[in-house]
Structure formats: C-alpha cells, structure tokens
C-alpha cells in the first residue's frame, strides 16, 4: 500500500514538474512539434489543451487537496505524448530567452523570432545653473601705527656708515661701494682705437682698348717680385703671429686678395701692391711690439720695482724711527721739542711716499695692459713709465695741501670719526695713493675746486 502511494506521489511530482517546465517553455513547444513532424509522423495522441488552462486546473486541484486532504487525480500535462530526442531537447533548452535573433541553418530559420522591446534612453540630467558666489567683502586695512618718538631719556644709536669725501662748496660724494671697473682703473694715454678690418677694394673697370694698353706696358719683373713678397709673408705669418688669430686672419685675407688680382687682373697690379703693403705694415707693427716688449718692457718693469721698494722702505723707516726723525727735524729747525710743524712735515712726507707708490702701481698696470693684454707696446712711451712715479710724488704733495687747506674733509659715522682722531696720517696717505694710481681722480678734484673758487671762470673762457 505504501509502495503504491509513494509511486503515485512520485508520478504526481514528475507531472507537476513537467507542467512547470511546460509553463516556461511554451514558446518552444511549437518548435519541438514542428521538428518532430518534419522527421517522423506524430503518433496518435490525445489533443493537448492550452498550457495556461492546464496550469490553472492543476493549481486548483492542488489547492483543494491542501484544504480537504484528499488525493486528486493528476492533471494532464501540457505536451504529454510528444516524443523529443535528447538533441532536440538540448536545442530547445539552450535557446537563450530573448535570443540574439534567428539563426539560419540550411536556408531555414532556426527558432522563433524574438521581439525586442525598444529601450528609450533615459533623459540626461539637467545641468544645474551655478549659483553666483557672494562677492567678498573688502578687507579693512589695519590702521598703521605712528612711529613713536624717542624720549629725551632714551639714546638713539646711529649705525656707523662708511666715510664719504666732500669738497667745500658743492659736495662731491665719492661712492666707496662701487665695484672696481673701467672707471676706477688707470687710463692708459696710449690706447688707440682698433683699426677697421681691411675691406676688399673694388677693381676699376677698363675698356678693351685701355686693358690692351695696360697689358702691353706691364712690368712682369715687378709682378714676379710682388708674388715673392706674398710668398714671404705667407711663410712668416703662421710661424710668428699665429697666437693672434684676428690679426692673422686679416693679414692672410689681404694677401689672398692681392694674389687674386695679380693672377686674374694683372693690369691692376697697383692695387695688389697697395694691399701687400697693408699686410706688411700690420705684420711689422706686431713684430716690433713683441720685440720692444721683450727689450724695453723688462727694463721699465725693473725700474718700477726698484722705485717701489725705495719708497716702501722710506715709509717703513718713518714708522719705525718716527721719534728719532722728529727729533732730527726739531734740531734741524732749531726747535727744542717737536711741535705741530714737525708732525706736519712727517705727514707731508707720508703723502709724498704713498703718491709715488700709487704712481708705480699705475705704471705697472699700464705696462701689463700694453705688453701682455693688447700687445701693442711702443718704445716711444718709455718716458711716460719713468715719469709716472715722479708724477705720483707730486700729486701726493698736492693732496696733502688740499686736505690741510680744509678743501677736503672726511665725514661719516662714529667709527670713521674715531679712526680719524686716532690715526689721522693714514687718510691723506690713502688719498695720495689714489691720486698717484689714477691721476684723473685728482685732476677732477682740482677742476671742482677751481669751480668752487671761481664759478664763472670756466664759462667765461668758453
């Protein structure tokens, strides 16, 4: 009894499951039937009812059985009696719901057409209008504090400043912070402007008759001599002045122009001869400058070194034996104790010495400029190098007179004033050295003093 009951329940569950499958595969039922009909004639089976009606009847029967507790007959399953092979069943199952369109096999459509619902794109979100930001409020400026005035009890410290040189009348400030440059270096009186490069001279045009006349009167011996002079310079220039690329290029370019004229236009040998003379003159000036620098340059150098050590030794002796020298001067002048006159004489000698040392340094600087840097030393300038230390001595004495006459004073902070009170002799010596090193400095100072003394003198002369 129990076996029959269990078999009945199993068959019922199987039928119910097939009914559910039929519910979800109603679209495939017709396809399976058509395929079976094409392959073999369908067996005589009971006509099937509609799947929805069968499903409703099955659900009603199950509901009655659940309420009454009695067994009901298993309803007929949709599609019962239809025989399908495993391959056809798998084909029917594997068709995806809402497929990708009908697949063709042998020219026939496979499966049912799938209706695709039109999907409307969602409306894009509206862009929200940016809300205007509130304008920032203007910042209120903080009231500036008024500088507090120092009380009478508080002492105001003045930062020490560098000394400044003034001339009585219209003050002329000397900027001591200015870096050294061409304006503070000694200016050479021998510097000449650089000569312009030798340009190619255009050849004159001749008529055929003039050209024939010139060729008939050519001196071929003269032309051959010009060629030899060109060859000689071509040989000397690379050997002796190759360390001057600019001058070498200029000389060789001029010789090339002269050679071209002698070959292509021999009737214009006068222009070729002129260019050869130009090249020869430039070469001789360079050669003589090097020769004079080796001979006279060293002599001037030794002279300046000897003068420098003599002046330096005199100043060191003045510092070491200042007291003895003061007593000697006092006895010489018939004074028992050295007074202000003796101290003034010592200061005068100090400015003379440092003016001469400045002249020596300036002469050595100019000598280096013309022998080593510009390489245009000339022997006729030797007299200037010898006289420069003597001029420095004289300008140092003039500086001492200007300072002691009160036409030149030093003003500055507390530090500068204190240094002048302790060692006043060094300031005139410094100004004297500058005067000897760069005479233009003291010359400009003298011109300003003349303008102070006689303001209309210069305009009256003009």
Which tens digit of pLDDT belongs to each residue from 178-199? Answer: 444 455 566 666 666 665 666 6
> Which of 95, 113, 138 corresponds to the end of one domain?
95
- Do 88 and 210 fall within a single domain? no
Residue 28's pLDDT is what?
52
86 and 207: one domain? no
Note whether 183 and 56 are same-domain residues: no
Query: Does the pLDDT at position 279 exceed 90?
Result: yes
Residues 160, 415: Cα–Cα separation, whole Å? 6
Does some domain include residue 127?
no
- Supply the pLDDT for residue 443: 85
Percentage of the chain lying above the pLDDT 70 cut: 52
Residue 145 lies in a domain: no
> Is 219 found in the same domain as 336?
yes
Asked if residue 173 and residue 78 are part of one domain, the reply reads no
Asked whether residue 416 carries a pLDDT value surpassing 50, the answer given is no
Please give the model's pTM, rounded to 2 decimal places.
Answer: 0.51
Task: Give the residue from 440, 445, 450 showing the smallest Cα distance to 188.
Answer: 440
Tell whether 323 and 405 lie within a shared domain: yes
Same domain, 174 and 88: no
Residue 154 within any structural domain of the chain: no
Q: Are residues 421 and 284 in the same domain?
A: yes
Task: Label the pairing between strands 164-167 and 408-411.
Answer: antiparallel
Least trusted range by pLDDT, from 190-204, 246-260, 376-390: 190-204
The answer on 223 and 89 residing in a single domain is no
Domain final position from 53, 70, 95: 95
Domain presence at residue 158:
no
Q: Are residues 286 and 414 in the same domain?
A: yes
Q: What are the tens digits of pLDDT across the range 89-140?
A: 566 555 455 444 444 444 444 444 444 444 555 555 555 555 555 555 545 5
End-of-domain residue from the set 60, 80, 95: 95
User: What's the CA gap between 251 and 246, in Å, rounded?
Assistant: 9
Range of the domain at 70: 2-95
Residue 245 domain flag? yes
Helix (H) or strand (E) segment spanning residue 411: strand 408-411
**Confidence class for position 309, pLDDT limits 50, 70, 90:** very high
Is position 296 within any domain? yes
> Residues 13-65: pLDDT tens digits?
454 455 445 444 544 555 555 565 555 554 444 444 567 788 888 888 877 77
Same domain, 194 and 88: no
Question: Do 359 and 215 fall within a single domain?
Answer: yes
362: in domain:
yes
- What mean pLDDT do residues 268-282 have? 90
38 within some domain: yes
In total, how many domains does the chain have?
A: 2
Percent of the chain at pLDDT > 90 equals 20
Q: pLDDT-derived band of residue 345, with 50, 70 and 90 as boundaries?
A: confident
């Amino acid at each position: 009894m129990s076996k029959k009951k269990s078999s009945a329940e199993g068959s019922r569950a199987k039928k119910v499951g097939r009914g559910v499958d039929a519910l979800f595969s109603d679209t495939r039922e017709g396809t399976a039937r058509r395929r079976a009909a094409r392959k073999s004639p369908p067996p005589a089976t009971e006509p099937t009812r509609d799947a929805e009606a069968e499903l409703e009847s099955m659900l009603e029967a199950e509901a009655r059985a659940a309420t009454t507790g009695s067994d009901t007959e298993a309803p007929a399953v949709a599609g019962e009696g239809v025989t399908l092979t495993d391959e056809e069943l798998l084909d029917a199952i594997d068709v995806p719901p809402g497929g990708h369109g009908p697949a063709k096999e042998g020219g026939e459509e496979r499966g049912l057409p799938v209706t695709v619902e039109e999907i409307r794109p969602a409306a894009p979100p509206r862009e929200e209008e940016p809300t205007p930001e509130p304008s920032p409020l203007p910042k209120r400026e903080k009231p500036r504090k008024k500088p507090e005035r120092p009380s009478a009890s508080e002492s105001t410290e003045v930062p020490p400043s560098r000394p400044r040189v003034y001339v009585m009348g219209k003050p002329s400030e000397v900027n001591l912070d200015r870096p050294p440059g061409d304006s503070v270096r000694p200016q050479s009186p021998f510097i000449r402007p650089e000569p312009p490069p030798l340009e190619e001279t255009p050849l004159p045009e001749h008529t055929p008759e003039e050209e024939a006349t010139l060729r008939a009167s050519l001196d071929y011996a003269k032309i051959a001599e010009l060629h030899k002079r060109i060859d000689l310079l071509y040989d000397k220039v690379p050997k002796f002045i190759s360390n001057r690329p600019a001058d070498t290029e200029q000389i060789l370019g001029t010789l090339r122009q002269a050679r071209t004229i002698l070959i292509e236009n021999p009737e214009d040998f006068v222009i070729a001869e002129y260019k050869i003379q130009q090249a020869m003159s430039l070469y001789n000036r360079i050669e003589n400058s090097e020769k004079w620098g080796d001979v006279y340059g060293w002599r001037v150098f030794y002279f300046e070194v000897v003068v420098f050590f003599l002046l330096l030794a005199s100043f060191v002796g003045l510092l070491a034996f200042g007291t003895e020298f003061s007593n000697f001067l006092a006895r010489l002048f018939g004074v028992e104790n050295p007074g202000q006159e003796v101290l003034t004489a010592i200061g005068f000698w100090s400015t003379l010495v440092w003016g001469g040392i400045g002249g020596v340094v300036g002469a050595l600087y100019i000598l280096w400029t013309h022998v080593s840097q510009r390489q245009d030393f000339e022997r006729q300038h030797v007299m200037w190098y010898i006289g420069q230390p003597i001029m420095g001595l004289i300008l140092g004495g003039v500086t001492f007179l200007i300072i002691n006459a009160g036409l030149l004073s030093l003003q500055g902070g507390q530090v500068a004033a204190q240094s002048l009170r302790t060692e006043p002799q060094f300031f005139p010596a410094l100004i004297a050295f500058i005067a000897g090193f760069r005479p233009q400095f003291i010359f400009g100072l003298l011109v300003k003093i003349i303008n102070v003394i006689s303001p209309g003198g210069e305009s009256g002369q003009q």
